[in-house]
Amino acid sequence: MMRITFLGGGNMAAALIGGLREKGFSAAGMQVVELNAEVRAALTEKFGVRCTDSIDDSALNCDALVLAVKPQQMKEAVQPLLGKLHTQLIISIAAGLRSVDIARWLGNYGRIVRTMPNTPALIGAGITGLYAAPEVDAEQKRLADTIMNAVGSTVWVEDETQVDAVTAISGSGPAYVFYFIEALERAALDLGFDAEAARKLAIETTLGAAQLAARSDDAPATLRERVTSKGGTTEAALRSLESDHVRAAVARAAQAAAARGRELGMQLGQD
C-alpha cells in the first residue's frame, strides 16, 4: 500500500486526498500533519484519514511526504524533519520555492520533486508541472506523477528553471482566462444583455471553446480559422484584437510572470 503524509491540510492537500480516494487509494495509507484542530477534524470526517498536530513516527512512516504549507512557512515547518528522513520522497507543492532551498532546510536531503499545480486542481481539472532533483529515482518519479494525477494532468520538465515558465503559463493561467471571461461578460453587458445572460454567454462560450480544443486533434489556430469566414463578423473582431496587439500583450504578461517567479524563488529561499 502506498503511504502518503501531507504536511499541511489546506485546500490543495484536501483536493489531492479527495482525488486519490476517488481513484481507489485507501484512507489508511494517508495521513495529515495539521496544526488547526478544526481542519484536522474536517479532514478525518470527510476522508477518514489520520490527522495529527505534529510530525510523529507514524507520519514519517511513508513513501512520500507532500509539503503543502505556505511558502513563507516552509522553512519552519520542515525543521522537525531534520535528520529523520531516509528514503522518503519529498513533494513540494509550494509555489516559488526552489528544490535547492528545500534541500538545504532539510539538511541537504535531495530526494525532492518540485511541483506547480494550478487552482483548477481543486475540482480535479488541474495541470501540474513537475521537476525531479537528480537524487529522485524512476520509481519515485512515478509515485509523484501518480499523486499529482489525482487532481488533473501532469507535465514534467527537465530543467528546474522551467518551473517558473510553468508558473507563468498554467499556474497563473487561470487568472488570464478569468480576466478574458470578465472582459467578454463586460462586452455582453455593453451590447445590451442583462447580467445573468452576459455571464452565461461569457462562461459557456469559454468553456465550450476550451472543450472543443481539448477534444480536437487540430491546432487552436486551425480551429480559429474554421470559425473565421472571410469578410465576416469574427474576422472583424480578430482584426481588432490584432490591431490592439493582444497576442503580444499575452506574451509579455507571461514573461512578466516568469520573471517575478524567479525573483520570488530567490527571496523565499533566503535564510
> Do 137 and 185 sit in the same domain of this protein?
no
pLDDT of 41: 97
CA dist 168 and 1 (Å) reads 36
The pLDDT confidence band at residue 270, using thresholds 50, 70 and 90, is confident
For residue 270, tell me if it sits in a domain: no
Q: Which domain-ending residue is among 141, 163, 185?
A: 163
Domain assignment of residue 212, given as a range: 173-262
For residue 271, tell me if it sits in a domain: no
pLDDT of 104: 95
pLDDT of 143: 97
> Do 156 and 197 sit in the same domain of this protein?
no
CATH number for the domain spanning 245: value is: 1.10.3730.10
For residue 168, tell me if it sits in a domain: no
> Do 135 and 68 sit in the same domain of this protein?
yes
Residue 20 has pLDDT above 90, yes or no: yes
The pLDDT confidence band at residue 169, using thresholds 50, 70 and 90, is very high
> Do 112 and 179 sit in the same domain of this protein?
no
> Do 109 and 242 sit in the same domain of this protein?
no
CA dist 120 and 250 (Å) reads 20
> Do 94 and 205 sit in the same domain of this protein?
no
For residue 267, tell me if it sits in a domain: no
For residue 204, tell me if it sits in a domain: yes
Residue 44 has pLDDT above 90, yes or no: yes
> Do 151 and 256 sit in the same domain of this protein?
no
Residue 16 has pLDDT above 80, yes or no: yes
**What average pLDDT score do residues 11-32 get?**
96
The pLDDT confidence band at residue 269, using thresholds 50, 70 and 90, is confident
> Do 32 and 117 sit in the same domain of this protein?
yes
Q: Which domain-ending residue is among 134, 163, 192?
A: 163
Residue 88 has pLDDT above 90, yes or no: yes
For residue 197, tell me if it sits in a domain: yes
Residue 186 has pLDDT above 90, yes or no: yes
Residue 49 has pLDDT above 80, yes or no: yes
CATH number for the domain spanning 90: value is: 3.40.50.720
Residue 86 has pLDDT above 80, yes or no: yes
pLDDT of 1: 81
Q: Which domain-ending residue is among 163, 194, 216?
A: 163
Residue 271 has pLDDT above 80, yes or no: no
> Do 89 and 199 sit in the same domain of this protein?
no
> Do 122 and 230 sit in the same domain of this protein?
no
CA dist 107 and 209 (Å) reads 48
Q: What is the pLDDT of residues 97-148, one digit of tens each?
A: 999 999 999 999 999 999 999 999 999 999 999 999 999 999 999 999 999 9
> Do 66 and 185 sit in the same domain of this protein?
no
For the entire predicted model, the pTM comes to 0.92
pLDDT of 265: 87
pLDDT of 38: 97
For residue 212, tell me if it sits in a domain: yes
> Do 121 and 213 sit in the same domain of this protein?
no
Among 22-36, 183-197, 257-271, name the one with the lowest average pLDDT: 257-271
What is the domain count for the chain? Answer: 2
Q: In whole angstroms, how far apart are CA 258 and each of 50, 62, 178, 183?
A: 38, 34, 19, 24
pLDDT of 268: 86
